[in-house]
């Protein structure tokens, strides 16, 4: 590895040593080191196969019922781990992109005293898609307690005029770091460019009714990996539902059979 690569690995290891329970700032610094394009090199432990082979497969460990791929952060840590099989050197961004879609986390230096540090797949998603684009976890999510009826009324009115919108949900999100905010979950019929533009216009026209200083964000409910979207789908009832207010359709001719709702 080049001198710059060695220095980058050293930055990851330096940040790793700063992480302790409750030190979310140090944990965020570790994520940023892993996400940096010129740093974050990891030695991924291969359970089978060789680097570049079609049968290469990362090792797997389970912690708290969740799967993780183990890795080490330098050649020195590889030697200290006693790993005798093959390995693959990748950067943190590449590892994150490979692991998070399958809901696998990353475990750094599991052989180290204290057991190393685990990075859940939700944070690997943040690395893969941009740390500043997603709130820092763990998140605390709840029903919004703040009363802003003018905003909800205007948003509902504009949503009814936007055919792409099926339903809207809401949550109060408190990140581990940063200010809490109101999240609006968007359930849409399609994601074509015209539909996306229409939804953006709907939100732009509605946020004028939001009190000054209240951050508002949106999330697509169709996103299978977003923690806010997952919470909204499971826990929040729509405050606007186009189909709940639609008139009942006339019975279709069924040759004598009762109409059976689709699933």
**May I ask the CATH architecture of the domain 140-241?**
2-Layer Sandwich (3.30)
Per-residue pLDDT of the chain (263 residues; tens, 9 = 90+): 444 444 445 788 889 999 988 889 999 999 999 998 766 689 999 998 877 778 888 999 999 999 999 999 999 999 999 999 999 999 999 999 999 999 999 999 999 999 999 999 999 999 999 998 888 888 999 999 999 999 999 999 999 999 999 999 999 999 988 899 999 999 999 999 999 999 999 999 999 999 999 999 999 999 998 999 999 999 999 999 999 865 444 443 332 333 333 32
CA distances from 148 to 33, 37, 207 (A): 39, 42, 11
- State whether CATH 1.10.30.50 applies to domain 3-133: no
Q: Quick check: 221 and 229 in contact, CB under 8 A?
A: yes
Quote the pLDDT of residue 112: 93
Quote the pLDDT of residue 259: 35
Q: How is residue 97 written in tokens? A: 């992109």
Classify residue 243 as exposed, middle or buried by CB count within 10 Å of its CB (0-12, 13-18, 19+): exposed
Same fold, 3-133 and 140-241: no
Phi-psi region of 118 (alpha: psi -120 to 50; beta: other; left: phi over 0): beta
Quote the pLDDT of residue 7: 47
Domain spans, the chain: 3-133, 140-241
Distance CA 168, CA 232 (A): 10
Quote the pLDDT of residue 258: 34
């Amino acid at each position: 590895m080049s001198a710059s690569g060695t220095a980058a690995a050293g930055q990851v290891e330096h940040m790793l040593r700063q992480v302790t329970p409750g030190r979310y700032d140090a944990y965020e610094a570790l994520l940023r080191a892993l996400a940096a394009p010129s740093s974050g090199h990891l030695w991924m432990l291969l359970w089978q196969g060789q680097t570049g082979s079609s049968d290469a497969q990362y090792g797997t460990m389970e912690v708290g019922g969740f799967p993780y791929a183990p890795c080490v952060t330098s050649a020195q840590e590889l030697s200290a781990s006693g790993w005798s099989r093959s390995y693959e050197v990748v950067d943190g961004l590449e590892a994150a992109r490979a692991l998070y879609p399958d809901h696998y986390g990353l475990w750094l230096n599991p052989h180290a005293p204290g057991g190393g540090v685990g990075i859940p797949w939700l944070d690997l998603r943040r690395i893969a898609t941009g740390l500043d684009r997603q709130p820092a976890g763990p998140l605390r999510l709840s029903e919004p307690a703040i009363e802003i009826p003018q905003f909800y009324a205007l948003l509902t009115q504009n949503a009814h005029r936007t055919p792409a919108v099926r339903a809207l949900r809401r949550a109060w999100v408190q990140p581990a770091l940063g200010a809490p905010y109101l999240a609006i979950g968007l359930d849409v019929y399609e994601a074509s460019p015209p539909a996306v533009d229409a939804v953006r216009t709907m939100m732009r026209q509605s946020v004028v009714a939001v009190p000054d200083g209240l951050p508002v964000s949106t999330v697509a409910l169709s996103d299978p990996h977003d923690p806010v979207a997952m919470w909204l789908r499971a826990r929040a009832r729509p405050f606007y539902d186009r189909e709940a207010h639609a008139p009942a359709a006339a019975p279709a001719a069924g040759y004598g059979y009762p109409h059976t709702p689709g699933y």
